[in-house]
Amino acid sequence: MSDEVGATKKTESGPYVHLCEHPGCTKWGSLGFAHGRATPNWYCFEHKIEWPPAKRS
Ligand SMILES: [Zn+2]
């Protein structure tokens, strides 16, 4: 039996490049925050926003 898989890697769906969206920041945005259906916003650990956002009553 030959169950070897993974020899071929998919490259078309490579790592999505997303940098911190904080103005002037060029760090890697490793933290993604999605507001509802909006596209996620990415921030580095330094500029991460409060999540989940505080509830407004
Ligand atoms: Zn940042």
- In a domain? residue 25: yes
Distance 4 CA to ligand 1 centre (A): 41
- In a domain? residue 9: no
Expressed as residue numbers, the domain containing 21 is: 17-33+40-57
**Beta pairing partners, 32:** 42
Would residue 36 be called left, alpha or beta, if left means φ above 0 and alpha means ψ between -120 and 50 degrees?
A: left
Report how many domains make up the chain. 1
**pLDDT tens per residue across span 11-57:** 455 556 788 999 999 998 888 888 788 788 888 999 987 767 777 77
pLDDT at 15: 58
- In a domain? residue 53: yes
What protein residues have CB closer than 5 angstroms to ion ligand 1? 20, 22, 25, 27, 44, 47
